[in-house]
Amino acid sequence: MPPTPLIECIPNFSEGRNLVTLDAIAKAIQQVDSVQLLHIDRGEAANRTVFTFIGPPAAVIEAAFQAIQVASELIDMQTQQGAHPRIGACDVCPLVPLANISMEEVQRYAEQLGQRLGDALNIPVYLYEKSASAAHRINLATIRSGEYEGFAEKMKNPDWQPDFGPLTFNAKSGATVLGVRDFLIAYNVNLNTKEVNIANEIARSIRESGRLIRFTDGATIRVPGKLRYVKAIGWFIEEYNKAQVSMNLTNIHQTGIHEAYLACKEAAESLGVQVTGSELIGLIPEKCLVEAGQYFLKEQGRSVADIKEIVQEAISKLGLAELTPFEPNKRIIEWIADFADS
């Protein structure tokens, strides 16, 4: 019997406060056979919730459609507000090949889902990352610029007509970004300040895109930040009463979570503030925390063989439990999803 292909789906919904709505979305996912809902990460101030589930491709696509359909019925973007940038009830829906399936194969499933969302739910759908239909649509931030409030006007530009769905904006549900990408870590570093401008200055200094410098003659130059494969912005989270540097680590093989943390720490200290800990959004592969733990142990001149002890070292040194308890059995993909028989 051939091994079972597995993909991961991580839809981000523009709702973090209404528990009835979030429960309905969760049930829509769980009712699909062969799909395992691994984690729900709710952000009240961001007003955003990230669901993570895995399964065989056809089942995952069905679960994604059912979840987005429920969201389109229960979330009204005309009244939605939150700290996180967004363009729709289901703002973005990434698909990640996990095992026994290629990017190209997952791409075909992404297109099937996009077509169905557009036809059945009247949602404009934009393909991004590995699925992008044009170079200017690869980057999520570029598609999302203008956010929900500016998207109806943006869609009038021929360059921003959707890949699937109606050519006019859906005021209630907004638009959805969909596509295949590599594994990504959503990761926030906590600061001992409420100042968003300081968090943004740290973000500019560490993110790959860096900062845009304007000269008096009108000329501009972009100075890259310290870390490759890192996207970052600064924001203030009211429920934590502190500013954060919010990051996406888009290539975990090139830039590790500990490197992002240390770069933020160095930049923060240069501005007279301190990093107090960090926050993982969603799930993380074991290797990322193992690499971080090994780095911190090496800095102490220590060597540890036990994987769980190495992971605990990473959790401690990264301050992952500062805001909420960090339970590795619920946050590390391999520890909650058994791929052994896949």
- CA of 25: how far to CAs of 122, 127, 177, in Å? 19, 22, 18
Whose tokens are 């926030």? That residue is: 188
DSSP structure string for 80-92: ---SS--SBSEEE
Whose tokens are 């240390």? That residue is: 262
Two domains, one topology: 6-180 and 185-336: no
Question: What are the strands, taking DSSP E only, across 239-298?
Answer: 242-249, 275-281
Local mean pLDDT, 10-residue blocks, the chain (342 residues)? 85 97 98 94 91 95 98 97 93 93 95 98 97 95 95 96 97 97 93 97 96 88 94 93 96 95 98 97 91 97 94 98 94 72 41
Q: What is the predicted pLDDT for the residue at 271?
A: 97
Using DSSP, state whether 42 is helix, strand or coil.
strand
| 2.30.30.240, 3.10.20.30, 3.30.1490.100, 3.30.70.670: CATH of 185-336 | 3.30.70.670
Active-site residue flag, 253: no
Q: What is the predicted pLDDT for the residue at 268?
A: 98
- 255 contacts: CB under 8 Å, gap ≥ 6: 227, 228, 229, 230, 249
Closest of 244, 149, 230 to residue 195, by C-alpha: 244
Domain residue ranges in the chain: 6-180, 185-336
In angstroms, the CA 234 to CA 165 distance is 33
How is domain 6-180 classified at the CATH fold level? Formiminotransferase-cyclodeaminase; Chain B, domain 1 (3.30.990)
Q: What is the predicted pLDDT for the residue at 98?
A: 85
Confidence (pTM): 0.77
Reading the block at residue 313, the tokens are: 């070292």
Whether residue 94 contacts residue 9, with contact meaning beta carbons closer than 8 Å, is answered with yes
Give CA 158 to chain center in angstroms: 28
Q: Which residue out of 39, 84, 136, 258 is catalytically annotated? A: 84
Using DSSP, state whether 50 is helix, strand or coil.
strand
In angstroms, the CA 188 to CA 26 distance is 24
Closest of 128, 131, 116 to residue 164, by C-alpha: 116
Reading the block at residue 242, the tokens are: 């502190």
